[in-house]
Amino acid sequence: MPKTWKQYPKYILGYWLALWAAMVLYSVFQLITNITPSGKFVEKRDCLEYDTAGRFDESQQCVEYSEPYFEPAGTSLKNDVINTGRNTGLLVLAVGGFLMYSQRKLEISEQK
């Protein structure tokens, strides 16, 4: 963690890049499992109906899928890279901004 609030932007950028890289690697491995034998397309299916046993600790599971459709592998990977970059960036900015604000308030209260 940074010692002063002025160091936070560097740390926020570093955490964002690290999380983004990890999520991109995860999405690449997920993509590999759904790629067609030709290597050019990714098979995708949308869930049409969810079901659960009704207990509070159970998650919903998909019980009916749509017909498979195929998306170019490059397009799918590009969309994953953009979406993970945006989502992790927003998360890191929100958490880092809150911590930076708290650190700044602490430094101001110590100066008084």
The pLDDT profile of the chain, 112 residues, written as one tens digit per residue, is 777 777 888 888 999 999 999 999 999 898 888 888 888 888 888 888 878 766 666 677 888 888 888 889 889 899 999 999 999 999 999 998 898 888 888 888 888 7
Does residue 96 form part of some domain? Answer: yes
8 Å CB contact between 104 and 9: no
Does residue 86 form part of some domain? Answer: yes
8 Å CB contact between 13 and 112: no
CB neighbour list of residue 103: distance below 8 Å, 6 or more residues apart: 2, 4, 5, 8
Pick from 31, 60, 32: nearest CA to 48: 60
User: pLDDT at position 57, please?
Assistant: 64
8 Å CB contact between 73 and 39: yes
User: pLDDT at position 14, please?
Assistant: 92
- Amino acid occupying residue 101: Y
User: pLDDT at position 83, please?
Assistant: 93
Does residue 56 form part of some domain? Answer: no
Does residue 78 form part of some domain? Answer: yes
pTM of the model: 0.70
Supply the range of the domain harboring residue 33.
5-38+72-111
Does residue 31 form part of some domain? Answer: yes
Does residue 47 form part of some domain? Answer: no
Does residue 103 form part of some domain? Answer: yes
14's enclosing H/E stretch is: helix 8-33
Task: Provide the 3-class DSSP secondary structure of residue 70.
Answer: strand
Does residue 11 form part of some domain? Answer: yes
Distances from the Cα of 65 to the Cα of 21, 47, 92, angstroms:
31, 5, 34
User: pLDDT at position 34, please?
Assistant: 82
